[in-house]
């Protein structure tokens, strides 16, 4: 029996305040995600239950019970407090998927500070713009990543503390650096958790848009209400489940459903701190008897590519329920998983700004492979006419996805960017920037993004960020970055480059450019191809028209370019 029970009934009557009671939350009272994910679970008598089962690429394991999670997050919180970190200060987590990342996240929230997780593969420039924008006061990192912080330190006067969580004493510490070793720190049992309220800031995730620098998406502790209920009903986590979310907490899936969702429900979760390998992934499921698995389309397509022989070498019978997020989940992937893994992946749609699942297939609901499903109970969503922003009622017509604001996990703003935040709303609807159509039964079918953001393997890449890195290279005069089709990642990054006079358009130049930008960007944002061109299509006022290049890559009609000549 699924947690949601009769999904039709739930779709008809939904009320977030029911969750308040379940979470012992009284409006205006104290609400702290860090406390909910550890202390509260211990109070329910589950202190000895396994919270985290961590494994790295060598098969080395670490285990933490909910009580150990409570103590360890207290200990990190107390250490930060001792350094002078206060409520609302931004504290960055810049680490691989090691236990300190998950525990540190709760510790930061427990002192009322704002957790700013950043993907550890970011290069120094990507790291800089996000720390600079957030005015980050402290960063928790590993010795393998500290070199990147050192490079940008001069430009970050507000960054007071660089805390290395795995220092081995071999290399001398530099300016502003200190060591915190969880295993050696004095455990803090009694801890005054900061009395955050529903609207206190909690997490600041950075996401890429088409123009401008990445935006800090500001979430609050009240997001817990949505994250808890969507985890319970969509991911259907139940008391004895062993859960695995493959997302990195540098991205929103890794925090909303890789930390907050499962732990607020007191569920055991596994973390594999290793890259993708079909064999290792199947072995991981087999070894730990994983029953609920939340992953992403690119990973699923990679598993499909790896073939069925490798599936047979592992026992996957523990799998009870599967779900996917981050990019379009093609119908073939759903059909394949049902045939080969015995369960279909349920597609879920949401984004950093929405904080929690918005459109989804619910347990029990008939699946239409290729469709994202319906709005989660309590979410009012529509497909809107792109000019009038009124809902389109006929099925099959493509329009913009829109949601009525007001669900608990909705972002409360873009950090220091009120203007762009306001632009996300039209006619009372929040616009996530995606296009879709509805069918006669109210199922949503994803069509594409409504902007130039590139979604490569579930990671959003701003063409602007890649173009800026390219323009810093001496040989580059102009550049335009667009998505090009790819079998596994759906989209990859392609750069068009116009060289300055005197530079040769050859492989050596391409290699030099790649080497230059590699240090600045994350590997995900690296162009898979650079094409040198003699000119780039532009509007009359000189704005590069990425849309024309995009259409060329995808073999689409460019349409009437005279209408594109003017700036929008």
Q: Which residues of this protein are in contact with ligand WTA, per CB under 6 A?
A: 207, 251-253, 325-329, 347-352, 372, 432-434, 446, 449, 455, 460
114 beta partners: 90
Query: Least distance from C-beta 295 to ligand WTA, angstroms?
Result: 12
Residue closer to ligand WTA (CB basis): 38 or 256? 256
Q: Are 532 and 504 in contact (CB under 8 A)?
A: no
Query: Least distance from C-beta 358 to ligand WTA, angstroms?
Result: 9
Q: 113 to each of 78, 202, 539, how far by Cα in Å? A: 12, 7, 45
Residue closer to ligand WTA (CB basis): 460 or 499? 460
Q: At 101, which helix (H) or strand (E)?
A: helix 99-110
Query: Least distance from C-beta 326 to ligand WTA, angstroms?
Result: 5
Handedness of CA 132, 133, 138, 143 (dihedral sign): negative
Residue closer to ligand WTA (CB basis): 32 or 351? 351
Q: Are 266 and 46 in contact (CB under 8 A)?
A: yes
Query: Least distance from C-beta 457 to ligand WTA, angstroms?
Result: 11
Which residues, at least 6 apart from 568, have a Cβ–Cβ distance to it below 8 Å?
A: none
Structure tokens at 390: 């009124």
The DSSP string of 120-138 is: TT--HHHHHHHHHHHT--E
- The separation between CA 180 and the C-alpha centre of its own chain, rounded to angstroms, equals 27
Query: Least distance from C-beta 72 to ligand WTA, angstroms?
Result: 27
Query: Least distance from C-beta 292 to ligand WTA, angstroms?
Result: 17
Return the beta strands (E) in 154-265 as ranges. Answer: 161-164, 177-179, 201-207, 215-220, 242-245
At residue 469, what are phi and psi to the nearest 5 degrees?
Answer: -65, -40
Q: What share of the chain is helix, strand, coil (3-state, %, to 5)?
A: 30, 25, 45
Query: Least distance from C-beta 453 to ligand WTA, angstroms?
Result: 7
Q: Are 246 and 298 in contact (CB under 8 A)?
A: no
Residue closer to ligand WTA (CB basis): 165 or 225? 225
Residue with tokens 């130049």: 509
Residue closer to ligand WTA (CB basis): 133 or 352? 352
Query: Least distance from C-beta 494 to ligand WTA, angstroms?
Result: 19
Query: Least distance from C-beta 373 to ligand WTA, angstroms?
Result: 9
Residue closer to ligand WTA (CB basis): 347 or 467? 347
Query: Least distance from C-beta 327 to ligand WTA, angstroms?
Result: 5
Distance CA 375, CA 198 (A): 24
Residue closer to ligand WTA (CB basis): 27 or 396? 396
Distance CA 371, CA 222 (A): 29
Residue closer to ligand WTA (CB basis): 351 or 479? 351
Residue closer to ligand WTA (CB basis): 102 or 350? 350
At residue 50, what are phi and psi to the nearest 5 degrees?
Answer: -70, 125
Residue closer to ligand WTA (CB basis): 78 or 493? 493
Query: Least distance from C-beta 235 to ligand WTA, angstroms?
Result: 13
Give alpha helix (H) positions in 179-293.
Answer: 223-233, 252-255, 261-264, 278-288
Nearest to 279 by CA among 327, 238, 313, 239: 313
- The separation between CA 16 and the C-alpha centre of its own chain, rounded to angstroms, equals 24
Residue closer to ligand WTA (CB basis): 53 or 409? 409
Residue closer to ligand WTA (CB basis): 169 or 523? 523
Residue closer to ligand WTA (CB basis): 49 or 426? 426
Residue 251 is given by DSSP the state S
Query: Least distance from C-beta 486 to ligand WTA, angstroms?
Result: 15
Distance CA 9, CA 25 (A): 25
Give me the helix-helix angle, 331-340 and 297-306, nearest 10°. 60
Distance CA 300, CA 120 (A): 23
Which residues, at least 6 apart from 182, have a Cβ–Cβ distance to it below 8 Å?
A: 72, 75, 76, 99, 100, 103, 165
Query: Least distance from C-beta 228 to ligand WTA, angstroms?
Result: 17
């Amino acid at each position: 029996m699924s947690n949601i029970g009769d999904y039709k009934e739930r779709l008809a009557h939904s009320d977030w305040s029911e969750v308040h009671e379940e979470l012992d939350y009284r409006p205006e009272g104290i609400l702290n995600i860090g406390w909910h994910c550890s202390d509260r679970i211990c109070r329910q008598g589950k202190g000895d239950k396994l919270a985290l089962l961590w494994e790295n690429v060598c098969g080395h394991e670490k285990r933490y019970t909910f009580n150990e999670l409570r103590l360890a997050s207290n200990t990190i919180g107390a250490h930060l407090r001792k350094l002078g970190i206060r409520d609302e200060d931004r504290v960055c987590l810049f680490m691989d998927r090691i236990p300190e990342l998950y525990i540190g996240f709760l510790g930061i929230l427990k002192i009322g500070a704002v957790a700013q997780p950043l993907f550890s593969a970011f290069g120094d420039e990507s790291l800089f713009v996000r720390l600079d924008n957030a005015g980050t006061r402290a960063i928790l990192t590993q010795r393998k990543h500290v070199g990147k912080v050192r490079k940008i330190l001069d430009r970050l006067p507000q960054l007071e503390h660089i805390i290395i969580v795995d220092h081995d004493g071999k290399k001398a510490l530099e300016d502003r650096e200190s060591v915190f070793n969880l295993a050696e720190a004095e455990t803090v049992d009694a801890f005054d958790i900061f009395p955050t309220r529903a609207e206190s800031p909690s997490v600041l995730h950075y996401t890429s848009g088409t123009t401008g620098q990445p935006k800090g998406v500001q979430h609050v502790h009240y997001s817990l209400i949505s994250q808890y209920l969507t985890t319970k009903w969509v991911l259907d986590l139940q008391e004895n489940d062993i859960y695995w979310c493959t997302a990195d907490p540098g991205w929103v899936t890794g925090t909303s459903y890789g930390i907050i969702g499962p732990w607020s429900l007191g569920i055991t979760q596994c973390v594999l701190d290793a890259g993708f390998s079909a064999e290792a992934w199947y072995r991981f499921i087999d070894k730990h008897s994983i029953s609920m698995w939340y992953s992403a389309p690119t990973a699923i397509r990679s598993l499909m590519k790896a073939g069925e022989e490798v599936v047979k070498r592992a026992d996957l019978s523990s799998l009870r329920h599967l779900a996917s997020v981050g990019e379009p989940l093609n119908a073939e992937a759903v059909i394949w998983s049902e045939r080969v893994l015995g369960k279909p992946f349920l597609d879920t749609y949401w984004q950093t700004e929405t904080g929690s699942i918005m459109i989804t297939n619910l347990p029990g609901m008939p699946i239409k492979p290729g469709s994202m499903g319906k709005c989660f109970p309590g979410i009012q969503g529509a497909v809107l006419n792109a000019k009038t922003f009124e809902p389109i009622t006929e099925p099959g017509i493509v329009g913009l996805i829109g949601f009525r604001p007001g669900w608990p996990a909705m972002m409360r703003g873009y950090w220091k960017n009120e203007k762009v935040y306001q632009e996300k709303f039209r006619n009372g609807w929040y616009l996530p920037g995606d296009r879709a159509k509805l069918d006669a039964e109210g199922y949503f079918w994803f069509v594409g993004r409504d902007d130039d953001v590139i979604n490569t393997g579930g990671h959003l890449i701003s063409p602007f960020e890649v173009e800026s890195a390219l323009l810093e290279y001496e040989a580059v005069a102009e550049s335009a970055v667009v998505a090009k089709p790819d079998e596994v990642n759906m989209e990859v990054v392609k750069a068009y480059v116009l060289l300055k006079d005197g530079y040769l358009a050859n492989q050596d130049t391409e290699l030099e450019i790649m080497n230059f930008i590699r240090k600045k960007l994350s590997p995900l944002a690296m162009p898979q191809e650079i094409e040198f061109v003699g000119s780039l299509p532009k509007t009359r006022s000189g704005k590069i028209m990425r849309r024309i290049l995009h259409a060329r890559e995808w073999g689409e009609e460019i349409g009437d370019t005279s209408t594109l000549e003017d700036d929008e």
